[in-house]
Each structure stands twice: as structure tokens, then as C-alpha cells.
Structure 1
Amino acid sequence: MTALVSDDTFDQEVLKSSEPVLVDFFAEWCGPCKAMAPALEQVASELKGKVKVVKIDVDQSPGITTKYGIRAMPTLIIFKNGEVAGQHVGALVQKRKLEEWLGQHVDNVA
């Protein structure tokens, strides 16, 4: 299960994480976000210990959403050592496509 982070917990859970973090900026009303959720959960489970996967509800966390210029959902951002290492706008509903994209930005994943 992916953890839900907010404006209040973002720094601790994402920026200060010792492992790479994949952040899914989503909205409850977003159809493509819901379509991508199963693949995201599978990847989170299989890569536990290598990559941390978290979700941010853009409607509940406007501070972080604004800070990173999120305008479309879903938007995926990979953070390594507190820095943005990769970004993808749009749903990656196939697990393989999600893993391929993640592998371009995180070592020992693909």
C-alpha cells in the first residue's frame, strides 16, 4: 500500500528519505489516476526497500502541488537525495511501462 503524504509530511517522507521516492500527484476525481493505481501498487510492493512510493492528493496539499508546478494529474516525480530526478505527466497504466520509466531514473530497478 502506498503511503499518503501531505504538505505537512512531504519534507520528512520525501526530501529526507534515504531511498529514491516516487511521488504520485493525484486527485480523487481523476479517472486516469484511478486507472494507474493498480500498476503503482504492484510496483510499490515489488520495489519495497529499493524505491519508496507515495501519493499526494493535489486538492488536500496545495502547497507542494504549487511548489512543483503540478497542473495535470497524474504527475509522477522521482526524488533522489531531496532533488527531482525525473518527471512524467500522464498515466502509466501498464506496470511494464511504469517500471521502464522508473528504471531510467533509479538504478537497480528495471
Structure 2
Amino acid sequence: MSKFGELISANVPVLFNFFTNWNEDTEAMNAVLRNVAAALGDKAKVIKIDIEKNPELSEALRIKGVPTFIIYKNGEMKWRQSGVQDDNTLIHHIQQFY
């Protein structure tokens, strides 16, 4: 989890997408996340985390449903939402923390 600590300490917003490969929404969200990353460029980071490969982190953050999105900046959680999101909604939330 030390790598996670480094990631959330960034001085740009970091959007995490917690997912599983067996979830039917994962494929649709991949395209949305590509659009978000392209739109924001280097103003933010977009990181996907498979909860099955990271059970300790998922437990620590109490991830109950997928997809779950969390935005961190400077080590502080700024926003969290579970369920499918569209690219404009995610971009709007990230832009609030520039």
C-alpha cells in the first residue's frame, strides 16, 4: 500500500477506478476513463485498480460495489461515488480540484 500512498499524495487530482473484470460495467467504463484521461491530459491522473488483485487496499477503503470512483489530491480524499459515471460527470468532479 506504500505505492498507493505515493499516488494519493500527488499535487494534481488522482481519479481511482476500483473495478473487477467480471463486472459487466467494466468494459463500458474503460472507454469513459480513456476519454477522461485524454480530456484532462497532465492536469490529473486516472488509475484503475482491480479489487481482486488488491484486497487489502479494497478492504481498507471499504470498497463494497464496483465501479467505485475516488478522487484524491495531496493525500486527501476529495470525492467518492459508486456506480457507472459518464465522462462529463467525472471530468467536472476532477476539475473542481485543480
TM-score band, normalised by the shorter chain? 0.7 to 0.9
CA apart distance, 1:51 = 0.7
TM-score by length of 1: 0.79
> What pairs up with 1:1-40 in 2 under 5 angstroms?
7=1, 9-12=3-6, 14-40=7-33
Q: Which residue matches 1:54? A: 47
* Residues 13-71 of structure 1: per-residue CA shift (max 9 Å, x gap): x2222211000001111111221110111111221211111011000001110111000
User: RCO higher in 1 or 2 (8 Å CA, sep ≥ 6)?
Assistant: 2
Match of 2:97 among 103, 106, 109: 106
Q: Distance in 2 between matches of 1:85 and 1:52?
A: 14
Gaps of 5+ in 1: 1-6
- Identity, % of aligned positions: 32
The structure with more helix, counted as a fraction of residues: 2
CA apart distance, 1:97 = 2.6
Gaps of 5+ in 2: none
CA RMSD of aligned residues (A): 1.6
Q: Distance in 2 between matches of 1:21 and 1:69?
A: 18
Q: Which residue matches 1:82? A: 75
* Residues 64-91 of structure 1: per-residue CA shift (max 9 Å, x gap): 1011100000000000111110001001
Aligned residue pair count: 98
Q: Distance in 1 between matches of 2:93 and 2:57?
A: 23
Q: Distance in 1 between matches of 2:73 and 2:8?
A: 8
Secondary structure in structure 2 of the residue aligned to 1:46: helix
Q: In structure 2, what residue type is equivalent to 1:85?
A: K
